[in-house]
Chain A
Amino acid sequence: MRLIIVGAGKIGATLVEKLSKENHDIVIVDKDAKIVEQIVNRYDVMGVCGGGADRMILEEAMVENADFVIACTSRDELNILCCMLAKKMGAAHTIARVRDPEYFMEMEYMKGELDLDMWFNPELRTAQEIAEILSFPSAINVETFADGAAVMVEVKIKKDNPMIGKSVMDINREFKLKALFSAVIRDNKVYIPRGDFIVLEGDVIHLTASERGITDFSKKTQTFRRRARSVFIVGGGKIAYYLAKELIARKVIVKIIEKDEARCEWLSEELPEATILHGDGTDHEVLDEEGIDKCNAVVTLTGMDEENVIVSLYALRKKVAKVITKVDRSTIGQMVSHLGLDSVLSPRTIIASSVVRFVREIASEGKARINQLYKIHDKVEALEFPVTASFGYKGIPLKELNIKKNYLVNGIVRDREFIIPTGDTVFMEGDKVLVVTTEKNVNDLEYIIR
């Protein structure tokens, strides 16, 4: 695939990093020569220096035979213009980053008019991700598959967890779980656990189950925490706005604290159900006064990574049940992982994986498509494939299929029902199959069978 990425900001650079690993031909376009040079030195890509809506520049980037143009500069108008121009000049697919709520309202309506194949809003995606986590507070991270019929949760094994020291097989026998161990991260290494794998303290496990299965699991392993009923949001930016909207729709009580008065006014106009507070979210007196310790969850969404980390640590000390921290620089996320902050999200990694998935879907055109791709870790992915009419291994029990090493069939969703696969399970048309793998660039279900 030939890709042109316009804008080498935080998101653009992350996209280059992720997509160059997938072996695509990438051209990065940005006005800033220094940034372009840095990227060209780091990754095996070509750089073009100039504006994204400049016809000469796009021509130089050879837009006429590009499969994708991804516009992710900080300016929505420029991104849309760039995509329109690129389509006119012959690019096959265009993706634009559009994040202004005003534009976003009309986006689905305008998508066809503008001939965009995909548009993405990092703030919105991040907000949705946070909302998911808030509905399973015991998890660090939540990913839903097959339209919510299957859920993959990321849980950290803390001290006193009854599973510590037991093998996966014993745990299944003892707790009668309706869930499947998908992956375990230990010391930054990933294992796809077999039956004899022993769970230790500090492991981060990934479990796949139905929504009920997860609740059941967290009750039995005493990690259960109730779905957040009141949420305190620090910082009133775009993510906060989208998150508040989402939470209000789920009947959650929302408080937002924001420094800028004009912004507060706008928020209170747009979100009449939420309590908008004008004040400094990093001031602990303000936080105490507004009862930070009384709410179920705190989400820190200010523009400063450091502020978010500090406020989150304060919230943890106040024994808030669930704390979610947003950091823009993913390196900070790694640096604070020892401080006890478990749900640290970075919008750019979230959005990068959805763009990567979209590109891979198009790349596997004609063949069985991927419904979903979720990066558990740098080296492990969870994928959802539909079983189509042309799939050649229907009706054969799993134990008779020769499934390749490094692949785990992680669950099957049939008629919105989550099935834990056993040796006798068969694939049927219309099934959605979840697969966990350490291999890269998998885009077909048949590929996993030898």
Chain B
Amino acid sequence: MNYKVIVNVLGRILLLEAILMCFPIIIDLIYGESNWHYFLIPMGCLLAISIPIIVLLKPKDMNMYAREGFVITALAWVIVSIVGAVPFCISGQIPSFIDAFFESVSGFTTTGASILQDVEALSHSMLFWRSFSHWIGGMGILVFVLALIPNQEGGSMHILRAESTGPNVGKIVSKMKFTARILYAIYAVLTLACFIFLVAGKMPVFDAICHAVGTAGTGGFGIYNSSIGYYNSTYFEMVIAVFMFLFGINFNVYYLILIGKFAEVVKMEELRTYFIIVILTTIMIALNIMHLYDGFGESLRYSFFQVATIISTTGYSTTNFDAWPTFAKIVLFILMIIGSSAGSTAGGFKISRMLILSKSSITDMRKMLHPRQVIKTKLDGDILSEDTIRNTKIYLVAYVGIIVVSLLLISIEGYGGFETNLSAVIACFNNIGPGFELVGPICNYSGYSAFSKIVLSLDMLAGRLEIFPMLLLFTPTTWRKN
């Protein structure tokens, strides 16, 4: 394993995080809450560590292989989350380090699960840092680094693959640095659009910034205890719901639209399925909850927002959906698992994987009837390779396995019933945030023990990185010399 290249890339990531910490300092200086030194201290440490690493530890060859790609990605996320927890902890606003770590992981992985009883008690800079971490983590911190490193040698593909979501990760243009830049440009423009719409509706600028970055990363940290419900404004809810929906779409779609290849966009089955799922479930839930609200219009408003927030794995809330009828809750639970499109900032199992699995299962079942039939599974009109299908099946096994093991581990302490624990694992692992009952939209994760919080934090990381980088980090063969 090329340790030097790993350390060098990690150094660059720490430097980047130090630079990103400037933003909460600026926010703090604007509000004059004198919390800036809580960011300046970790920032100074990061600079003191990262600059010597980058300058002194120049690797002879920048070659990376699949193993280095996985290790760099997993380590980077763990380290970035630990460092991101430091301001919360040393400021005393989240005194326990485990809690601060949970909050920070929840931020970077765009989960939005919180342990805070009273969000409004945090200072502006802390609230901003929480939401901003969604934005950094949404598109991926390593993709950001890839956009900045001038001329990469080979191997950067492994990092993109380890950090991006979905079964088939590819570059959109031939140079990695331009691919990363295009992705970030689309991301930034959409975020800005969301911000402008919010400000146009007279949302305070600070709130609009926090919600725009939180929506973009499909994170879901609110800045009020009742999240988006605080405003009780249909306009804000619809703007955020629509943008959550948009950030759940594969970013390649936006690129294809930009270069005018509409035919290819129409061809994408995942996109079509995403639209169909959202429309169908919105109507189903709206009908189911109609008796709770006055009129279909009102129930449609709540139903669309909840569907958008859950399927895009954001986790903002406008109402306590835990009080909804069982049917509506089950639909939301299924949406939690499905998640959004591959190549978006959202989490979950991903619609494309669902499509691959169901299509290949149908193919296999037809083969049972006609054992001699030669038949290929297709997605978007292209034949799926056996490798892709096999990898998706392996992913399903790992996915279910992690849910089972985590459920077992967090149930040891005896906090929460079956529904609470299962929804907590699902909501963390799929990067959503709120679950049901004790972890529902009006409650939080503070009741869990430190051990369970660590388990859930690792679930969030595993969910964001799509399992394998985290799993391989803890596998001895990864670290073996030969």
Contact = CB atoms under 8 A, between A and B. Distances in A.
A40 B160 CA distance: 12
A338 interface: no
Contacts of A45: 174
A227 B53 CA distance: 57
B367 interface: no
A46 B174 contact: yes
B204 to A, nearest CB: 44
Interface stretch (B36-44, B103-111, B151-159, B228-236): B151-159
B173 interface: yes
Contacts of B450: none
Contacts of A27: 174
Contacts of B385: 33
B154 A41 contact: yes
B173 A25 contact: yes
Contact of B158 (A26, A41, A43, A46): A41
Contacts of B154: 20, 41-44
B174 A44 contact: yes
A43 B158 CA distance: 11
Nearest to B65: A41
B66 A26 contact: no
A373 to B, nearest CB: 21
B393 interface: no
B141 interface: no
Contacts of A33: 385
B309 to A, nearest CB: 35
A76 to B, nearest CB: 26
Contact of A25 (B151, B155, B157, B175): B175
A46 B177 CA distance: 12
A148 to B, nearest CB: 37
Contacts of B156: 44
B329 interface: no
Contact of A26 (B170, B174, B178): B174
Contacts of A2: 174
Contacts of B13: none
Interface in B42-86: 65-66
B101 to A, nearest CB: 34
Interface string B130-164: 00000000000000000000011111111000000
A23 interface: yes
A44 B175 contact: yes
B66 A41 contact: yes
B174 A41 contact: no
B66 A23 contact: no
A46 B173 contact: yes
Nearest to B172: A46
Interface in A30-60: 33, 40-47
A28 B423 CA distance: 45
A183 B22 CA distance: 51
A41 B155 contact: yes
Nearest to A33: B385
Nearest to B171: A46
A42 B69 CA distance: 12
B70 to A, nearest CB: 13
B152 A44 contact: yes
B66 A44 contact: no
Interface of B: 65-66, 151-158, 170-171, 173-176, 178, 385
10 contacts: A23-B151, A27-B174, A40-B157, A41-B65, A41-B66, A41-B154, A41-B157, A42-B154, A42-B155, A44-B176
Among all A-B residue pairs, the 9 with the closest Cβ atoms:
A46-B174, A42-B154, A43-B154, A25-B174, A44-B176, A46-B171, A45-B174, A27-B174, A26-B174
